[in-house]
């Protein structure tokens, strides 16, 4: 995680856009196989892979999201294609897989996927991946990708592709990407409520996200989120046994952690 955040910071310092850097960061995690997203996704109850992803650009609050894709190497690319090149926000199923070529995602077979809970069973639990990024122009982007909960029921869709639940970005406020048991993040509209608390209550990212995460915990849910505000302040709260996380600010101050670090 440290090496990845350093690479993305270097790209931002070279004037790359928040959009390009957010996509690149999520793609790297989709490809590595140690997270329950992209290559590391586990099969559902019917033995199939089902992938979800979303992305939101804070300048005009444009967004793209996909669900129940089965053959995409990089779901985040197709979510971005929907945002950039279609009038839609959210597509699901076979039509998503059909967009792979147009979106620049390779098509892969079932043998590509190596479930993270098989190859990384000795590691702290690792699930949904996400990135929140602000560039030198002040543009803010949030991107999130997942294979869902481990060994989930076929057809189940969590918070990741739902704008306002698992992902949200607004240049005037900040950005949020969530991970955890999606049903609870859906029921609390977690991402948009964190943004609302920062906007209307003038709360800092940690205060806003901790309040929503406490509510999720009281309902019996668990997970975490990465939060960035327009001032560059960062929060990485979680209520699980661990969450892989990394951040770096404009001055190069870096935070990297997995369990209670």
Which CATH number belongs to the domain containing residue 49 in this structure? 3.60.20.30
pLDDT tens-digit readout, 4-54: 999 999 999 999 999 999 999 999 999 999 899 999 999 999 999 999 999
Nearest to 233 by CA among 257, 206, 193, 199: 206
How confident is residue 125, by pLDDT bands cut at 50, 70 and 90?
low
Give the range of the structural domain holding residue 14, as residue numbers without chain letter.
2-257
- Number of structural domains the chain divides into: 1
128 labelled catalytic: yes
Residue in 44, 128, 167, 188 annotated catalytic: 128
pLDDT of residue 121: 55
Residues 6+ apart with CB under 8 A from 120: 34, 40, 126
Q: Which residues of 163-200 are buried (b: 16+ CB within 10 A; e: fewer)?
A: bbbbbbbbbebbbbbbbbbbbbbbebbbbbbbbbbbbe
pLDDT tens-digit readout, 210-240: 999 999 999 999 999 999 999 999 999 999 9
Q: Which DSSP state fits 41?
A: P
């Amino acid at each position: 995680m440290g090496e990845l955040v350093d690479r993305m910071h270097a790209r931002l310092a070279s004037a790359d856009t928040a959009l390009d850097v957010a996509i690149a960061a999520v793609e790297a995690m989709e490809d590595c196989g140690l997270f329950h997203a992209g290559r590391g996704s586990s099969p559902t109850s019917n033995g199939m892979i089902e992938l979800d992803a979303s992305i939101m650009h804070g300048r005009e609050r444009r967004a793209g999201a996909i669900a129940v894709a089965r053959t995409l190497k990089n779901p985040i690319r197709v979510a971005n294609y929907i945002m950039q090149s279609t009038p839609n926000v959210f597509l699901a199923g076979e039509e998503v897989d059909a967009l792979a070529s147009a979106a620049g995602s390779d098509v892969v077979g079932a043998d590509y996927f190596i479930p993270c809970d098989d190859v990384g069973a000795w590691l702290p639990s690792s699930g949904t991946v996400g990135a929140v990024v602000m560039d030198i122009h002040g543009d803010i982007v949030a991107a999130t990708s997942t294979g869902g909960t481990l060994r989930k029921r076929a057809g189940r869709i969590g918070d990741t592709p739902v704008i306002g639940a698992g992902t949200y970005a607004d240049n005037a406020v900040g950005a949020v990407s969530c991970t955890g048991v999606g049903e609870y993040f859906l029921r609390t509209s977690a991402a948009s409520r964190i943004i609302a608390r920062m906007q209307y209550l003038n709360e800092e990212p940690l205060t806003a996200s901790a309040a929503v995460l406490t509510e999720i915990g009281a309902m019996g849910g668990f997970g975490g989120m990465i939060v960035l505000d327009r001032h560059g302040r960062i929060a990485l709260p979680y209520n699980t046994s661990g969450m892989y996380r990394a951040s770096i600010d404009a001055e190069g101050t870096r935070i990297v952690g997995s369990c209670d670090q």
